[in-house]
Chains A and B, each alone.
Chain A
Amino acid sequence: MGYFLQQLINGLTLGMIYGLIAIGYTMVYGIIGMINFAHGEIFMIGAFISIITFLALGLVGVGWVPLALLIVLLATMLLTSVYGWALERVAYRPLRSSPRLAALITAIGMSIFLQNYVQLLQGARNKPLQPVITGGMRFLEDGEFAVNFSFLQMLIIALTIALMIGFTLLINRTALGRSQRACQQDLGMAALIGIDVDRTISLTFIMGASLASVAGLMFLLNYGVIDFYIGFLAGVKAFTAAVLGGIGSVPGAMLGGLLIGLIEAFWSAYFSVEYKDVAAFAILVLVLIFRPTGLLGKPDVEKV
């Protein structure tokens, strides 16, 4: 029981990180119908900006952890958004009217470019960070095993839930969210009623990037070590989560992220760690065979 609970906590934490990245995939797909394969790299850049900010704060002597965390959070959201915005502006906007394949290949190209860019600037070695948040709660003690719910895991879960609630409100309750939903349904018509489609798409990339940057910060805090290559696997997993939940659906991305996280955690716990990725992707294959639109996805509506 204790072991199960521990894996549940670990899986939830991991799932939250995947979910935050997956929202970026699903929103961009929803609005311009392309898979932004460079989104994993945006997540990686978010993690790098976080570690750099942490080290810089250490140098100037900001020692109070909550303040440092807040500054890092804001800095990484802000700076990573700039990357997200620039990515769309430079690489995708000129290709908006070209075939989807061109945009897809460009996305893969940007992904490779961003990996190499970070590798060149930061070096290829692992970047470690001292644990920032330590301690936790132990319960259900049973001999030497106890369920450990660390403060960091609590923070990750709470922050993700807060972000997702805020984000859902933004999409459903504000004029901005309404314009994004309109663009998602019919870009041409949205322009015809006066919505600045380019700006809405830019904002979508900015939102996706800022959520991914928070995921990057969480990844850094959780694992304590990052390198320029972390964006690939995390990106593919989050993409899987988005497809599993139903690409284009924001609640689907959150659900998919959680499921992938839980599947990975439980598979590693009860079967084998080596095959955890296989498990996650096998579930994806099964879902795509039996429910091609994903768990919460709607069948594709014919566009005129």
Chain B
Amino acid sequence: MSRADRALLSVEHLTMRFGGLVAIDDVSFEAPRAKITAIIGPNGAGKTTVFNCLTGFYKPTVGRLALRHPRRGEFLLERMEGHAIPAAAGVARTFQNIRLFPGMSVLENLLIAQHNALMRASGYTVGALLGLGGYAAAERRAIERARYWLDRVGLVDRADWNAGNLPYGAQRRLEIVRAMCIEPVLLCLDEPAAGLNPRESAELNALLTFIRDEHQVTLLLIEHDMSVVMEISDHVVVLDYGRKIADGTPEAVRNDPAVIRAYLGEPEEEARE
């Protein structure tokens, strides 16, 4: 198997400029298929900007973002419309500050993520209005899938709650399984462990490895919590000031002098102070 076959996502020479500010400067990396790739780096290193480029929030100034979908062929994400990135290419995302639909129930949050399949099944609502059977069956399948994921994260008994009323940790889990309901091949998680207690953080690790191993989804993870990064990621990319400074296995990255310098500063400088 060649290198390109193993990588689900290839980011090549990604550059993002905002006026004179270079947020990402010529970053290239690959996310291997069905593996967890962590993107780490100090604050302001450009991690979230990479996500924003991948999910169509920003159009990259320069660069190529190629996603090789196992069933649908290759997509160039930088050329796609916002909603087509999740719908066609299968890229899902969660946010640092949770973005559920707070006024909808937990179940509806998962159903809405299966919107496109339901719309097709309902003959774009015409069928549903006429009460055709296909829609009811599709809706049942959608509820079945939602139930499967709610079961995974222990929220089945709160399916009727308003999503906005869930406790913080449960909202995080719900956001991740909502992303899974669009049946993504690439799941981008922006600081999923932020604000979780150690027990919740361990549950999160279990959920993410389950998603990787059982559903063969490639994960891209921005995380500051090094216990999460070191424990579950297969591959780590380190950014600093918009540049990639290291790329490799967690052990290799942990011992990389450039990474230590970025996080802790120059030893000489510290000595002088």
Interface residues of A (CB under 8 A from B): 170, 173-176, 178-179, 181-182, 185-186, 188-197, 298, 301, 304
> How far does the Cβ of A29 sit from chain B's closest Cβ, in whole Å?
16
Q: A95 to B112: give the CA distance in the assembly, Å.
A: 27
- The winner among A170, A179, A298 for most chain B CB atoms within 10 A is A179
Asked if B182 and A193 sit within 8 Å, CB to CB, the answer is yes
> How far does the Cβ of A188 sit from chain B's closest Cβ, in whole Å?
8
A and B contact pairs by CB, cutoff 8 A, 22 listed: A174-B122, A175-B135, A176-B128, A178-B104, A179-B112, A179-B115, A182-B101, A186-B101, A188-B99, A189-B101, A191-B82, A192-B55, A192-B93, A193-B86, A193-B92, A193-B112, A193-B178, A193-B179, A194-B113, A194-B182, A195-B116, A304-B99
- Say yes or no for B97: interface residue by CB 8 A criterion: yes
Asked if A181 and B104 sit within 8 Å, CB to CB, the answer is yes
Asked if B99 and A194 sit within 8 Å, CB to CB, the answer is no
Partner of A301, one of B87, B102, B118, B129: B102
Q: A182-B101, A186-B99 are in contact. List 17 more A-B contacts (CB 8 A).
A: A175-B115, A176-B125, A179-B119, A181-B104, A182-B115, A185-B101, A191-B56, A191-B83, A191-B86, A192-B86, A193-B112, A193-B113, A194-B86, A194-B115, A195-B116, A197-B83, A304-B99
> How far does the Cβ of A121 sit from chain B's closest Cβ, in whole Å?
32
3 closest residue pairs by CB, A with B: A194-B87, A175-B118, A194-B86
Closest A residue to B104 by CB, please name it: A181
> How far does the Cβ of A298 sit from chain B's closest Cβ, in whole Å?
8
Per DSSP, chain A at the interface is helix
Q: A298 to B103: give the CA distance in the assembly, Å.
A: 11
- Say yes or no for B108: interface residue by CB 8 A criterion: yes
From residue 19 to 74 of chain B, which have CB atoms closer than 8 A to chain A? 55-57
- Say yes or no for B204: interface residue by CB 8 A criterion: no
- Say yes or no for B155: interface residue by CB 8 A criterion: no
Q: A3 to B70: give the CA distance in the assembly, Å.
A: 73
A182-B104 CB under 8 A given contacts A194-B86, A304-B97: yes
Residues on A with C-beta less than 8 A from B124 are 176
Residues on B with C-beta less than 8 A from A301 are 102-103
Q: A45 to B151: give the CA distance in the assembly, Å.
A: 52
- Counted as pairs of residues, one from A and one from B, with CB atoms less than 8 Å apart, the total is 89
> How far does the Cβ of B189 sit from chain A's closest Cβ, in whole Å?
13
- The winner among B95, B108, B125, B182 for most chain A CB atoms within 10 A is B125
Residues on B with C-beta less than 8 A from A182 are 101, 104, 112, 115
Partner of A174, one of B85, B99, B128: B128
Q: A194 to B181: give the CA distance in the assembly, Å.
A: 11
> How far does the Cβ of B115 sit from chain A's closest Cβ, in whole Å?
5
Closest B residue to A189 by CB, please name it: B99
> How far does the Cβ of B80 sit from chain A's closest Cβ, in whole Å?
11
- Say yes or no for B111: interface residue by CB 8 A criterion: yes
Q: A175 to B118: give the CA distance in the assembly, Å.
A: 6
> How far does the Cβ of A26 sit from chain B's closest Cβ, in whole Å?
15
Q: A304 to B57: give the CA distance in the assembly, Å.
A: 14
